[in-house]
Chain A
Amino acid sequence: MSDEFLTLATLIGIAHSGVRLATPYLYAALGEMFGQRSGVLNLGVEGVMLMGAFTAYYAVYLGGDPWLGVLAALATGALMGLLMAVISVTMQAEQGISGIGLTLFGLGLSSLLLKVLVGAPVSVKGFSVWEIPGLSAIPVIGPIFFDHNVLVYLAYLLAPASIYVLNRTTFGLKIRAVGQNPEAADSLGVRVNAVRYATVILGSSLAGLAGASLSIGLLSIFQENITNGIGFIAVALVYFGSWRPLGVLAGALLFSTINAFQLWMQVLGAPIPSDLAVMLPYILTIVVLAVGVKQIRQPAALTKPYERGE
């Protein structure tokens, strides 16, 4: 039977699953990347995702259009980003700890809101799969990339958009300057903290959207702690991708594809113990982190609050 494992259909299936599974990681990690490039480490991604997932779910639960859910998630993310920015940029609190605080906050509040406003979770009608006409008919490529819900497509468009913003716009230039050498940026008239507010809020909005991509995209339901650690893996993926959008994209795809691979191997009855199979993506991530990450690319001012010298 083992010769059947890697048929074309299976390979397409693995790639298709991997592309879909990477969605929440992409939103969350690309968003987090903006904050880190400007010097702010936000470990609150998990909590923001949970709140975004809940508000999107709740908007749809109340009868709203899924796009309204997307708006709700973005707005919730932005608000939580503002909170994070006030604490870590203005108040200059230790970034790691304030992020963990934000995660606890999001975990608690989203669970509370679920109980108060919804009670027992029920399924909602979120985004359905939308095969892109024409493109989905292409052999191999079509079923892998063009047979998903719209939030999956948007996640992949976000990667080139991030490259453009970071490398081709003034805003991107300011972000890189602020993250690398805030004193120099400041002396050139860049408002360091304003840039950091913008990136943290942008990153959190995307984290909110990451949550929505679960609750009204892939799962069509909200449950307590539905993210189950995705937010923290997203932070790791930023390091994994050496703070570059393409690196983050590659990391998210690799992690998700390995996960899809191990699921398929289990489903097809490959003789691998399940305990070992489920560890594969994590082992691989650690290995790449250990041997592959170029620390030299880490923004020099990461986790360092900026205070103007006189």
Chain B
Amino acid sequence: MRKFSWSLVLVLLAGLVFSACAAPVAAPAGGEVAATAPGAETAGGDAAGGDAAAPLRIAIIMPSSITDVAWSQSMYTGLKAVQAEMGGEAAMQISYTENMFNVADAATAIRDYAVDGNDIVIAHGTQYGNAMFDVAVEFPETTFAWGTAIDTGADKGLSNVFAYEAQAQEGGYVNGVIAALMGDSDTIGVVGPVEAGDAKLYIDGFVEGVKATKPDMQVNVSYTGSFGDTALAAEAANTHIKAGAKVLTGSAQQVVGAIGVAAENGVYWLGTQSDQSPLAPEWVVANQLYDWTGVIKDMIAKREAGAVGGAAYSLTLNDGLVIQFNDQAPVPAEVKAAAEKAIEDIKSGVITPLK
């Protein structure tokens, strides 16, 4: 007595349509093509085109959204900045697919973007590596990029893959210095996502920065086991505060809830990956920003010079990592000075976090 009714199909379709158009309607400048659904087609050329030189087309697949205030947003912001610098839509088009937590879906999207003739396809997550290499073999003219990674696939005979990563421990160290000097308590809390990769680098660097500044400071580290478990991250923040923390930090898109808890309790927050100040203007002290514009521009330049891949990039405080103080939060001058000194020491090699 089970009928597979038309209305059910309708709802399923509506769900897919809504997720598929979740992005383009909102795309600020218009003309972008975006999708949230797996394998959604990118309907290529937009009205702005039509002049003789075809615009450069870059597509990106990311694990969270362009407004995640973390990893995905950092790359999207970089792409938009480069696009603006190059002259807008006419010179460069960006297509993106968000919330690809499912690697199989991401693999489909990577392939679709390559088939569709994008010049550069960015797989913005370590987990997409294998899927991307599979596609990269078939499209030697297309440039692929992925991160966090250092493997450009040279040992697989590939020459069309770029890899990128961030030395997150450098900014983590600086944030740790700031954290050690900000709170008036002897405890600092860290709301970690998954104990691996970029997050682990950041957190380990952070702990080292705290300990180097105040060896007696207690740093409590917890992980939620997920990048997107906002509710558990908020509860972790609550727990850290109950355990005496007056300064918190954390990583990944899950932290939006934790930052809210910090603000509610009057506890300072140190951000990473993207600018998290808007979430709690009075309590976010500083952010380590990932500025990918240099990486993007270099990939484009190399491609125009004939090298479709083969380089591995690493953001450092010397190039790409930026410590941004939030002007609305009250940061004492001596704290800023200590942070500046740490930045200079890392840049000049006097300090090498995690070595």
User: Using a CB–CB distance below 8 Å, which chain A residues touch chain B?
Assistant: 13, 16-17, 20-21, 24, 47, 83, 86-87, 91-94, 97-98, 101-109, 111-112, 114-116, 119-123, 128, 214, 218-221, 223-228, 230, 259-260, 263-264, 266-269, 273-275, 277-279, 304-305, 307
Contact = CB atoms under 8 A, between A and B. Distances in A.
Contacts of B260: 123, 219-221
A9 B5 CA distance: 56
Contact of B12 (A101, A223, A277): A101
A218 B231 contact: yes
A268 B244 CA distance: 11
Contacts of A101: 8, 11-12, 15
A115 B5 contact: no
B36 A93 contact: no
Interface in B225-256: 225-226, 228-232, 234-236, 238-240, 242-243, 253, 256
A307 B1 CA distance: 8
Of B189, B231, B239, most buried by chain A (CB within 10 Å of CB) is B231
Interface string B63-92: 011011100000000000000000000000
Contact of A305 (B2, B25, B192): B2
A267 B240 contact: yes
A275 B15 contact: no
Given A13-B242, A111-B99, A97 B232 contact: no
Interface of B: 1-5, 7-8, 11-12, 14-23, 25-26, 36-37, 64-65, 67-69, 98-99, 189, 192, 195, 220-226, 228-232, 234-236, 238-240, 242-243, 253, 256-257, 259-260, 263-264, 278-280
Given A93-B5, A107-B19, A123 B279 contact: yes
14 contacts: A13-B243, A86-B7, A91-B5, A92-B1, A103-B15, A105-B14, A105-B18, A108-B20, A114-B67, A219-B256, A266-B223, A274-B195, A274-B223, A307-B1
A226 B235 contact: no
A13 B64 CA distance: 32
Given A105-B15, A115-B67, A274-B192, A214 B225 contact: no
Contacts of B12: 101, 104-105
A272 to B, nearest CB: 11
Given A98-B8, A264-B239, 8 more contacts: A47-B15, A87-B8, A102-B11, A121-B279, A128-B264, A219-B257, A224-B65, A225-B228
A111 B2 contact: no
Contacts of A119: 26, 67
A116 B24 CA distance: 9
B235 A21 contact: yes
B71 to A, nearest CB: 14
B7 A108 contact: no
Nearest to A100: B12
A37 B224 CA distance: 34
A108 B231 contact: no
Contacts of A123: 259-260, 263, 279-280
A230 B22 contact: no
Given A109-B18, A121-B67, A223-B256, A304 B5 contact: no
Contacts of B228: 225, 228
B278 A266 contact: no
Of A20, A267, A305, most buried by chain B (CB within 10 Å of CB) is A267
A115 B27 CA distance: 9
A81 B225 CA distance: 32
Contacts of A102: 11, 15
A163 to B, nearest CB: 26
Given A263-B232, A263-B239, A108 B16 contact: yes
Contact of A120 (B16, B98, B257, B278): B278
A122 B18 contact: no
B271 to A, nearest CB: 14
Given A111-B19, A218-B257, A259 B223 contact: no
Contacts of A24: 231
Contact of B225 (A218, A275, A305): A275
A122 B2 contact: no
A266 B222 contact: yes
Of A101, A121, A128, most buried by chain B (CB within 10 Å of CB) is A101
A56 to B, nearest CB: 15
B63 to A, nearest CB: 11
B94 to A, nearest CB: 15
Contact of A221 (B8, B17, B257): B257
Given A98-B11, A267-B189, A305 B1 contact: yes
Of A116, A225, A230, most buried by chain B (CB within 10 Å of CB) is A225
B1 to A, nearest CB: 6
B242 to A, nearest CB: 5
Given A101-B11, A259-B232, A304-B1, A111 B36 contact: yes
